[in-house]
Structure 1
Amino acid sequence: MAVFTAEVFQNEFMADGATDVHAIVTVTSSGAGAAGASGAGVAEIVMIDSSGSMAGPNLDAAKYAAQVAVDQIADGTWFAIVSGSHVAARVFPYPNAALDMVQMEQGARAEAKRAIGRIAATGGTAMSTWLLLADRLFATVPQARQRHAILLTDGKNESEPRHALSDAVRRVTGHFQCDARGVGSRWEVEELREISTALLGGLELIADPNEIAADFRALVQRSMARGVADAELRVWVPQGGQTLFVRQVSPTVEDLTARRTEVNALTGAYPTGSWGDEQRDYHVAVRVASKPVGTEQLAARVQIAVDGQVLASGLVKARWSDDASLTARISPEVAHYTGQAELASAIQEGLAARAAGDEATATVKLGRAVQLAQETGNDEATSRLRRVVEIDDATEGTVRLKRDVARLDEMALDTASTKTTRVKR
């Protein structure tokens, strides 16, 4: 049985008149077990782009990667393979099969790999059809509470109106998790980010098609290692209080605020998806009424719950003081992750401004990104930023835009913008 713990990091001292309380809550899961061990409780779908643009090395590599992924799916897991172009097709189980998804066993594994080998490139790209088909397939195995998909594409979603993809994402949100992968430089980061963010998955650029197989192998292994199908972060605030925002800040920045559902009048729940043995950090900000100096109050109770059962809890406190040496302290955890969240926004806004031809805004935003990466010790972000800007002074955030930037370098910076470094404790 999984064991969860919650640890709160904050400066609980508040200045006279202050109302906003910030805390970093570290949630750790251990003993989660393996998803595959629960057999019929797990379902996996691999979706690969089979549009005309994939013809050649990309499709060859994608088919091989899908076969590698099939080898990682644990026996007993419900699974299916989908090929996607301007329409979606179930490759395995075969179209004439009685079941939409089958449980993995030796014979099914061999037939699935054979079916993948027959996929041919043709048509355009309409990813809404891929997601909707996956949703219909998952719906046929209600006993599988843990549902995970992989989506791989090499192109833009150009065979349907833009709103069709957004509509589909909204329809399937909460039904399954999905990791999105883009191979090469012709796909749009924002399209795949919309999918991965809503479906609680990761987003990665795969520059070299030869790297798809290793990535797919790792994705399925990670999925099979997550023995908790779904957990939610619950935030209670006192009467009159307000939750300002809830963000996952490690290992990636994901704003969960808009995903809130009501548990009761004082408590909201935020989805976190499936868990293995791992650790994640969340930034919780709440607003409470100011109290007289010397007053102490519970500002929030943060809990992790599985199947409605609370497994761990942490307390966020507020203590009003007129001692500036106490109230002026900034929690290093809060400061670190506030900077990391701003870093992600600065990179994305800077790249968007650059694409729109607004060089002044791009320079300011990317300069601020360089400064934040320096302050928070995010060396990976600094390295990626150097491929887009010339850094004159990292501490001051003084940069110059490079004139000739490879699209792959821009995409690598964009897709990795939400990855964070853990705070040093």
Structure 2
Amino acid sequence: MANFAKPSAPRFAVEVYQNAYLPEGGREVDAIVTVQSTGGAKLSARPEAGPAAAVVLMVDCSGSMDYPPEKMRNAREATAAALDTLRDGTAFALVAGTHVAKDVYPGGGRLALADERTRAEAKEALRRLSAGGGTAIGTWLRLAERLFAHTPAPLRHGILLTDGRNEHEAPEELAAALRACEGRFTCDARGVGVDWEVAEVTGIATALLGTADIVAEPAGLAADFTGMMEKAMAKEVADVALRLWTPVGAEVVFVKQVAPSVVDLTGRRTAAGPRAGDYPTGSWGDESRDYHVCVRVAAAGLGQEMLAARVSLVRPGPAEGPAGGPPAPLAQGLVRAVWTDDVAASTAISPQVAHYTGQAELAQAIQQGLEARKSGDSDAATAKLGRAVQLASASGNEDTAKLLAKVVDVLDAATGTVRLKAKVTDADEMTLETRSTKTVRVKK
């Protein structure tokens, strides 16, 4: 029996951290915007509006999933564990992905509502899955988008598992599929084993505002899938956008999510009225995220002050505001600019801005270092990965430091002195690459 309840909306709060002071002629203003969401009731099905959440699970069933055979068995068991985590009343479907996509439950282009009976039926459909065929992930995503089109659920989330490279469609086809799915649903992507392409899996998660990770050992899939589904079920509000308004003469240089991971949102801007633009942030539960905003303003005289940007959280759509009018902001904060001849004031760097600038550099150093290592440029790899070790140590990013230590021998973390390891497992290298964008918060 579905648990019907009308949810209460979560509350959003925005805090802005910055050094507002600029020297004479200064134009660039940096700020870290912390967004906190708290207090919403967990969403469940509502008879008057249909299910509040929908999930499509996309399971790789290509031939490589049979090597070793435990991989397919673990994938079935992991998906079954995820089904057990679905709340009653959630709309869901199972997709078997090969070089084509097939909705194996409930079938017919429909979604089922989670209850004891439909979970048992879905697990029976899972037991019938077998491995065979190629890999064309774009077809899986397009089928998920068509399935989501049949539900009024505001929260729409995909979980995608693959063990291989996307060899049976052109990269342009996957890119086109991602563009078609952007804004339609969010998606977590997982690579199992070590024969998949990190850039493909992380690209899917980035485009669809989800998470990406490696599950090197198939036996770890059940715990990972259960955790993903628990987080999906904890989401309370969908389609939240970060809205930036800037005054005449000002322009946005970039907008990046910097915690819990680095995601560049700059190119995702959509117009939202005069001098305003929306940047998608996806779905929210009880959580906090940080964003780095950089705005270039028109220069002003000493002693002058201006509003460089207004940052708001909004849920776009006429239902959020007066009929036909713009949505009311869920929360907002202000970014200021003040021109001064006080050198100490204008040269001070906000601790939050400095921290996340370092975390973004850390992610870039890891990616560049691993790329240099793959290409055989050991000098560049040593320099970049040494810098990454230095940044991870200075910022207290212990998880990343541990991953780096599996790729390099750390001689002196403080100075970034390292030596490349002669032998590195594919799993260790792929784990470091996949998790390179994960950040730590500023120490209070």
2:332 maps to 1:326: no
Q: 2:59 — aligned with what?
A: 48
Is 1:105 aligned to residue 132 of structure 2? no
How far does the alpha carbon of each residue in 1:93-140 deviate from its partner, in whole angstroms, 9 at most, with x for none?
14xx4x511222222111011101110011111111111111111112
* Residue of structure 2 aligned with 1:179, choices 188, 191, 196: 188
In 2, Cα distance between equivalents of 1:246 and 1:139: 30
Within the alignment, does 1:316 sit opposite 2:335 as a pair?
Answer: yes
2:251 equivalent in structure 1? 242
Cα distance in 2 for residues equivalent to 1:37 and 1:371: 49
SS in structure 2 of the partner of residue 354 of structure 1: helix
Per-residue deviation, 1:86:
1.2
2:320: which partner in 1?
A: none
Instruction: Trace 1:4-23 onto structure 2 (pairs within 5 A).
Output: 4-23=12-31
Report the 3-state secondary structure (helix = DSSP H, G, I; strand = E; otherwise coil) of the residue aligned with 2:330: strand
User: Aligned AA for 1:400?
Assistant: R
* Alpha-carbon distance between aligned partners in 1 of 2:365 and 2:310, rounded to the nearest angstrom: 31
What does residue 370 of structure 1 align with? 389
Q: Contact 1:35/1:223 (CA < 8 Å) preserved in 2?
A: no
Q: Is residue 269 of structure 1 aligned with residue 293 of structure 2?
A: no
Show the counterpart of 2:100: 87
| 1:392 aligned onto 2:403 | no
1:306 and 2:315 are equivalent in the alignment: yes
Q: For residues 201-240 of structure 1, what are the structure 2 equivalents within 5 Å?
A: 201-240=210-249
1:35 positional shift = 3.1
Structure 2 unaligned segments of length 5 or more: list them. Answer: 1-8, 317-326
Name 2:80's counterpart in structure 1.
67
Aligned residue identity for 2:309? A
Unmatched 5+ residue regions in structure 1? none
Letter in 2 for 1:188: E
- The residue number in structure 1 matching 2:144 is 134
- Separation in 1, partners of 2:37, 2:63: 43
State how far apart, in whole Å, the 2-side matches of 1:351 and 1:332 are.
29
CA distance in 2, matches of 1:224, 1:283: 28
- Report SS of the residue matched to 1:67: helix
* Aligned counterparts of 2:200 and 2:43: Cα–Cα separation in 1: 29
State the Cα deviation string for residues 135-182 of structure 1 (Å, max 9, x = none): 1111122x1221100001111111222322222112211111000001
For normalisation by structure 2, the TM-score amounts to 0.92
What residue is the counterpart of 1:121 in the other structure? Answer: 131
Shift of 1:392: 2.3
One-letter amino acid of the structure 2 residue matched with residue 35 of structure 1: L
Deviation digits for residues 157-210 of structure 1 (CA, Å, limit 9, x no counterpart): 112223222221122111110000011111110010110000000001111211
- CA positional deviation for 1:37: 5.0
Which of the residues 160, 167, 176 maps onto 2:176? 167
For 1:299, the aligned partner's letter is: A
The answer to whether the Cα contact below 8 Å between 1:65 and 1:212 also exists between their aligned partners in 2 is: yes
Q: Is the 8 A contact 1:132 1:168 kept in 2?
A: yes
Mapped pair 1:358 → 2:377: yes
Determine if contact 2:183/2:239 at 8 Å carries over to the other structure.
Answer: no
Matched to 2:341, the amino acid is: D
Q: Distance in 1 between matches of 2:41 and 2:289?
A: 17
In 1, Cα distance between the equivalents of 2:172 and 2:331? 40
Give, as a single letter, the amino acid of the residue that structure 2 aligns with 1:130.
W
What code does the residue aligned with 1:76 have? Answer: G
Asked if 2 retains the 8 angstrom alpha-carbon contact of 1:44 and 1:80, the reply is: yes
Find the counterpart in structure 2 of residue 418 from structure 1: 437
Quick check: 2:240–2:282 contact (8 Å CA) kept in 1? Answer: yes
Q: Which residue of 1 aligns with 2:157?
A: 148
CA deviation map 1:194-242 (0-9, x unaligned): 1000000000111121111111111111111111012100111110100
The sequence identity of aligned pairs, in percent, is 52
1:29 is matched by which residue type in structure 2?
A: S
**For the residues of structure 2 that align with 1:167 and 1:367, how far apart are their CA atoms?**
37
Tell me whether 173-182 or 391-400 shows the greater mean CA deviation. 391-400
CA distance in structure 1 between the aligned counterparts of 2:308 and 2:366, rounded to whole angstroms: 33
Note the aligned Cα RMSD (angstroms): 1.3
Q: Which of 78, 84, 91 is the matching residue for 2:91?
A: 78
Separation (CA, whole Å) in 2 of partners of 1:33 and 1:223: 14
Q: 1:86 is matched by which residue type in structure 2? A: H
Question: Aligned residue for 1:401?
Answer: 420
